[in-house]
Amino acid sequence: MDELSTNERISRMFQHKEADRVPIVENSWPATVERWRREGMGEQSPREFFGLDNVVQFGIDNSPRYPEQVKEETEEYRIKTTKWGMTVKNWKHKGSTPENVSLEEFRDVVELVKDLGRF
């Protein structure tokens, strides 16, 4: 079978028909892409380099839409409030999920969870 386009491959998947391969989609952290570039990927996109399928993803914003504000920024990280009302720390050159630095705002909930763990 010849190589299929993303559209053909995904259409066949939804029709339960054979395709050249399973569709492959990846969302890479920026720090991971930086590392891949240092290790030889060059300036290509991960999609081009790894031969991933070209898809567009979108989501619905169901947040309370609190104002977002940068509270602190250094060369290494950025601390900001989110549209969910949380204060998070994002590392600029490390791949990880945002660190929640607003747990003190949820002290009562944290204590309740700790208490529930004792039973």
Q: What angle do CA 103, 60, 56 make, to 5 degrees?
A: 115
**pLDDT band at 107; cut points 50, 70, 90:** low
User: Does residue 50 contact residue 36 with C-beta atoms inside 8 Å?
Assistant: no
Q: Report pTM.
A: 0.60
User: Does residue 12 contact residue 21 with C-beta atoms inside 8 Å?
Assistant: no
Distances (CA, A) of 116 to 31, 47, 110: 37, 45, 10
Enumerate the domain spans of the chain.
1-58, 63-119
Give 1's DSSP letter. Answer: -
Q: What is the mean pLDDT of residues 92-108?
A: 75
Q: What is the mean pLDDT of residues 72-99?
A: 89
Give the count of beta carbons closer than 10 Å to the beta carbon of residue 87: 19
φ, ψ (nearest 5 deg) of residue 49: -65, -45
The pLDDT, as a whole number, for residue 24 is 95
User: Does residue 9 contact residue 52 with C-beta atoms inside 8 Å?
Assistant: no
